[in-house]
Structure 1
Amino acid sequence: MNEYIQLLKHENVLRRLSFIQLISYFGAWFSNVAIYTLLIEMGASETTVSFVAMLHFLAGVVQAPFSGSVIDMLKPKKLMLSLILLEICATTFLVFVNNINDLTLLYILILVKMASASFYFTTEMSLLPKILDEKVLQKANELHSIIWSLSYTLGMAISGFVVFILGVKIAFLLDAAFFVIAFYMLYTIKIEVDIITNKENLLFMMRDTFSYLKKTPKALHLMIVHAFVGLTAFDALVALMVDKYYAGIIATSLALGLLHASRAFGLVIGPIMLGKLVNNKRLIYIFVAQAFAVFLWAYVMRNFYLSLVASIVVGFFTTTLWSYSYTLLQKNIEQKYYGRIVAYNDMLFLSSAAFTSYMIGNLATAEISLENIANIMGAGFIVGALYYAYVLKNQKIKEISQG
């Protein structure tokens, strides 16, 4: 943990960006719990719940084809400020969703909100390799994941109580307020990076990116490897678990908050314990461990308290899996293509997460048990391990410096 603290002490821009992440992510989870609580209280179907979960990821897929080119053309600070403004507006308007007849409005606001969030994330992740030395890049990615997980833990847990006591409207307004604070903090940061002037138009840059991927197959392979982490899109599954198994035990908002917070606790402690141990070859075992963690969760799913414990185990391996596979991609592409490749990588990852959310709803509607749905997701990580082993054997992948 001391390494992360030292990194924040020495990297001023990263420190300020990290505080912004903490505030904005923390606020985001208020509305996340509120949205699913609202859906369950409105009596939304399993398909609707999974569709909303899918929209959270699909929004990023829609904007990804052009966002990378835009990122490589514009100054990051101005772009990030504009995206936070969009998030403030979309979040505030969530207070006008009152019943099942307002689902169309909810869908539109989620698309705008999550597309902006995804665009912001891609901008920041393409910025990090430009401002940080390669020896600390993995730690910076791990730190980002820890901050996300910490915000997720606190946000989900506290919002469960906020929604239970004050209602979903207050949660939406609190979310918007957090984004206002994040906007002000970002406005005061001085970010200096060299923008590679590109005279090509947007369409040419997109074609050029595909040509680069064709000439650099390892980049595409690593994007696919990272996409397997999208199988951890458990939001729809958790919502259905609460509705089906725990409704008679605990209030909906509290159950949602505690289950997500438990998994997020595992997300926080995982990289702290595994960060120094993982390398290119050992990542295979992290994939396998993630699979068996999901199998365990499926086995104890009907018991709320055992499910809380299993959720921690499920989260334990996820952050390392995400951060290491992301860093591998960053270290194996040219700087000129950072923004575009990161955007397409996020598109694949979010497509995987969106498909996972969609299939959860469809499988549940087809009366496949939630336990078996979880087992199917766990098996996906075994496939991921086999695919990554194939990539390591057939591609020259740079080892990440642990300095």
Structure 2
Amino acid sequence: MKQYLHLLKSHKVFRRLSIIQLIAYFGAWFSNVAIYTLLIELEADPKIIAFVAMLHFLAGVVQAPISGSIIDSVKPKKLMLILIGFEIISTFLLIFIDNINDLTFLYVLIFIKMAAASFYFTTEMSLLPKILDGSKLQRANELHSIIWSLSYTLGMAVSGFFVYWMGIKAAFILDAFMFVVAFLLLYTLKVDIEVIRVKERLLDMMSGTFKYLKKYPHAMHLMFVHSFIGLTAFDALVALMVDHYYANIIAASLALGLLHATRAVGLVFGPILLGKFTNNRYLTYIFIAQGIAIWFWAYMMENFYLSLLASLFVGFFSTTLWSYTYTLLQKNIDEKYYGRIVAYNDMLFLTTAAFTSYMTGFLIESGITLEGVAVIMGVGFILGGLYFKWVVKTHNIKEIN
């Protein structure tokens, strides 16, 4: 914890970016509980809920092929301000969703909102290695992932209570206001970053990225390793758990909030306790531990209170896996390709998350139990750990420190 605090105190730009990140990412997910609560109240079937969950990730997949090239040729602050502007507008317009006939409008707004959020995330992740290096970059990525995870789950947790007391539309309005605050904080920040002027055309930049990946296949393998973390896309699963098991004992918004809140605790404390022990040698075991934690969650799923305990363990390993695999990729690619490689990395990650969300609804509609879906996710993490072990054995992967 002291290392994180020292980094925040000693680096003004990173400190401000972290504050903005906390507000922006918190806002990105704050309205999710309101959206899922709305869908439950409208009696949407599992496929619709799963499709909405998939849209949150699919948006980032669609824009990824061009976002990296744009990031590598545009000043980051200007781009980030534009993206927050899109989030403000799309979030506010959610207040006009009233009934099941407005689903198409809901889909469009979610797509725009999350595409902008994903683009912003990729822009910031390509910015970090330009202002930090070595162990500072690792700590920054860990802190970044803690903030992202905390915003992702705690944002939905707080939203759960807010929706319960204040209502769905009030949540959308407050969410839009948080983005306005983030916009103002970023607007007043001075970011002195030298942009490497790329003379290549957009299509040439895209083709050049594939040539780079073909020449250095270890980068592609690290991208695939990171994509396994997308199996933690539990939004649809949690919403369906609430609908199937807990709706009779607690309000849907409160159940969603509490489940995400307990996972948030694990997401925050996981890297603090595991970070200094994490390296290429032991990462496989952390993958396996994540899979076992998900199996434990499946076993406890029908009992709401035991499920809360299990979700704590599910979150404990996730942030460490996310931050370490991301840092490994940054450490093992050339600076010229930061934006493009990070964008394609995010595309693979979000593809896995979108596929996981879609398959959750599909498998349940096909007769697979919620517990069975969780078991399959756990198997995926064990396979990811074995794959990483093979990558380290067959390729020259630099250690972070």
* Aligned partner letter, 2:156: M
Q: Is the 8 A contact 1:25 1:148 kept in 2?
A: yes
Question: In the alignment, residue 279 of structure 1 is paired with which amino acid?
Answer: N
- Work out the CA distance in 1 between the residues paired with 2:290 and 2:161: 30
Aligned to 1:305: 305
- How far does residue 30 in structure 1 lie from its aligned partner after superposition? 2.2
Aligned to 1:73, the other structure's residue is in SS state coil
1:257-276 correspondence to structure 2 within 5 Å: 257-276=257-276
Q: 1:249 — aligned with what?
A: 249
Pair 354,153 (structure 1): closer, same or farther in 2 beyond 3 Å: closer
Deviation digits for residues 292-316 of structure 1 (CA, Å, limit 9, x no counterpart): 0000000000000000000000000
Q: Note the 1:363-374 alignment, pairs <5 A.
A: 363-374=363-374
User: 2: distance between equivalents of 1:238 and 1:327?
Assistant: 29
State the 1:397 CA deviation. Answer: 0.2
The amino acid that maps onto 2:127 is L
2:115 is matched by which residue type in structure 1?
A
2:241–2:370 Cα contact (<8 Å) kept: yes
Deviation at 1:134, TM superposition (A): 2.0
TM-score, reference length from structure 1: 0.99
> Which segment drifts farther, 167-176 or 26-35?
26-35
Structure 1 SS opposite 2:276: coil
Q: 1:196, CA displacement in angstroms? A: 1.1
Letter in 1 for 2:158: I
Matches within 5 A, 1:48-63: 48-63=48-63
Contact 1:267-1:317 at 8 Å conserved across structures:
yes
In 2, Cα distance between equivalents of 1:133 and 1:28: 28
Question: Aligned partners of 1:151, 1:373: CA distance in 2, in Å?
Answer: 25
Structure-1 separation of matches of 2:29 and 2:159: 7
What SS class does the counterpart of residue 72 from structure 2 fall into?
helix
Whole-Å separation in 2 of the counterparts to 1:101 and 1:153 = 29
Checking the alignment, whether the CA contact within 8 Å between 1:64 and 1:346 is kept in structure 2 is yes
Q: Aligned partners of 1:231, 1:29: CA distance in 2, in Å?
A: 18
- 1:340 and 1:184 map into 2 onto residues whose CA distance is 28
Aligned to 2:211: 211
Aligned to 1:16: 16
Report what 2:147 is aligned to: 147
Q: Verify the 8 A CA contact 2:154 2:260 in the aligned structure 1.
A: no
Structure 2 unaligned residues grouped into runs of 5+: none
- Kindly tell me the number of residue pairs found equivalent between the two proteins: 401
1:28 is matched with which residue?
28
Preserved contact between residue 152 and residue 261 of structure 1 (Cα < 8 Å): no
Match of 2:390 in 1: 390
**2:141–2:327 CA contact under 8 A, matched in 1:** yes
1: CA distance, partners of 2:224 / 2:157: 32
Structure 2: how far apart are the matches of 1:349 and 1:277? Answer: 24
Tell me the TM-score normalised to structure 2 length: 0.99
Deviation (angstroms), 1:150: 2.7
**Which segments of structure 1 move beyond 4 Å, counting only runs of 4 or more?**
none
- Identity score, percent: 69
Give the partner amino acid of 1:4.
Answer: Y
**1:386 shift after superposition:** 1.0
1-side partners of 2:57 and 2:174: how far apart?
Answer: 22
- Name the residue aligned to 1:96: 96
Give the structure 1 partner of residue 327 of structure 2.
Answer: 327
1:120-131 mapped onto 2 (5 Å cutoff): 120-131=120-131
Whether the 8 Å CA contact 2:31–2:156 is kept in 1: the answer is: no
Structure 1 residue 153 displacement after superposition: 4.5
2:80 maps to amino acid: M
* Distance in 1 between residues matched to 2:329 and 2:228, nearest whole Å: 14
1:341 lines up with 2:341 in the alignment: yes
Question: Following the alignment from structure 1 to structure 2, what is the Cα–Cα distance between the partners of residues 198 and 28?
Answer: 31
Distance in 2, matches of 1:174 and 1:220, equals 40
How far did 1:219 drift? 0.1
**8 Å contact kept, 2:259–2:308:** yes
Moved more, 89-98 or 143-152: 143-152
Work out the CA distance in 1 between the residues paired with 2:150 and 2:326: 19
Residues 149 and 265 in structure 1, CA contact (< 8 A), matched pair in contact too: no
CA contact (8 A) 2:164 2:254 kept: yes
Displacement, 1:106? 0.4
**Which deviations, in whole Å up to 9, do the C-alpha atoms of 1:316-360 show, x marking residues without a partner?**
000000000000000000000000000000000000000000000
Unaligned runs of 5+ in 1: none
State the match for 2:69 in structure 1.
Answer: 69
Following the alignment from structure 2 to structure 1, what is the Cα–Cα distance between the partners of residues 29 and 335? 33
Q: Secondary structure at the match of 1:275?
A: helix
Work out whether 1:159 is the aligned partner of 2:147. no
Q: Which position in structure 2 is the counterpart of 1:285?
A: 285
Letter of the structure 1 residue corresponding to residue 139 of structure 2: K
Q: CA RMSD in A?
A: 0.8
Deviations 1:11-49 (A, max 9, x none): 111000000011122223320110000000000010000
1:201 and 1:148 map into 2 onto residues whose CA distance is 33
Q: Secondary structure at the match of 2:277?
A: coil
* Alpha-carbon distance in structure 2 between the residues aligned to 1:347 and 1:87: 19
Aligned to 1:229: 229
Range 126-135 or range 342-351, more displaced: 126-135
The SS at the match of 2:368 is coil
Q: Distance in 1 between matches of 2:353 and 2:284?
A: 20
Q: Is the 8 A contact 1:295 1:375 kept in 2?
A: yes
Partner of 1:81: 81
Report deviation, 1:135. 2.2
Distance (Å, rounded) in 1 between the aligned partners of 2:62 and 2:271 = 30
